[in-house]
Structure 1
Amino acid sequence: MLYLPGYSGGDALADILFGDVNPSGKLPISYPKYPHSLFNYYRKTFDDYNPLFEFGFGLSYTTFNYSNLSVSSDNEVINVSVTVTNTGNVSGKEAVQLYTSDLVASSAPDAKRLRKFKKVELESNESITLEFQLTPLDLSFINEDNKRVTEKGDFEIQIADLKARFALT
């Protein structure tokens, strides 16, 4: 997506098309498959909502694999780690996106929320273990009384297709 590329947009597009640069951007919105489904609900769950391209989707000339997702919590800090491997034949950048879900909230918060991300550059067959730290504030939401609250209970972390659960007590 070029959107409004400006004066050097043509040069940037040529660099991508000729393989001089490996694209690594992610979509800031969802693209619907059909005109009648024009809502941007990456954070809501609808069984029949199947966008053409989801929020956070991106293309690259290489592929990345995620593994070893682990979560540990002491109720003050939630430590999350994940290993990212460039499994393709060329170097590339990847935006590693960490989403959270509150599984037992008293009101219905968003199904998943982007909480953290890190962009890494990896050579072919290179791996890196990334660490994220979340605080209870990162798990908060605005309740019916318009107050920011963090409720105790079960939460889920999602990075790519990997999921892990933990509890705040």
Structure 2
Amino acid sequence: MTDSELTALSQQVGAALKQLGATVTTAESCTGGWVAKVITDIAGSSAWFERGFVTYSNDAKQQLIGVDGATLEAHGAVSEQVVTQMAQGAQNAAAASYAIAVSGIAGPDGGSAEKPVGTVWFGFAGPAGEVLARRERFDGDRESVRRQATAYALTTLWQHFLQKA
């Protein structure tokens, strides 16, 4: 996805959030704040984006957004259980209507047979307590995986939460 396509997607998400009087927060690991960056590229995004958390380390996940250390130990940072806690923790910490969480292996190193490079887990939390977790596998180099993950995060928020609202 190109920069202009990411901008258009961010504008679409922002317009829906603004219409709903809702906000979104992010908790990002492998994307390093890229989702928050494309959101805040939109003029006026302060009306619907309060803050983002770059929780790259396990300590940051625990300290900033309340991910349970036992969950990290049992399942690893790149897991359904962790992104679910990341989304819920960020939503609570930011008092946001919606939350997006991203944790994955962008490469080129760090993959395993069970979790190869390009594996990314996404967690989403909505205002009625609904939680959605998804795992995707993206191809390409580190930047490509991160760009695809950013686009997927915004697209999924739109399709599963905002488009229906």
Question: Do Structure 1 and Structure 2 share a fold, with TM-score over 0.5?
Answer: no
**Structure with the higher strand share, 1 or 2:** 1
Pick 1 or 2: higher relative contact order, CA cutoff 8 A, min separation 6: 2
TM-score by length of 2: 0.33
TM-score by length of 1: 0.32
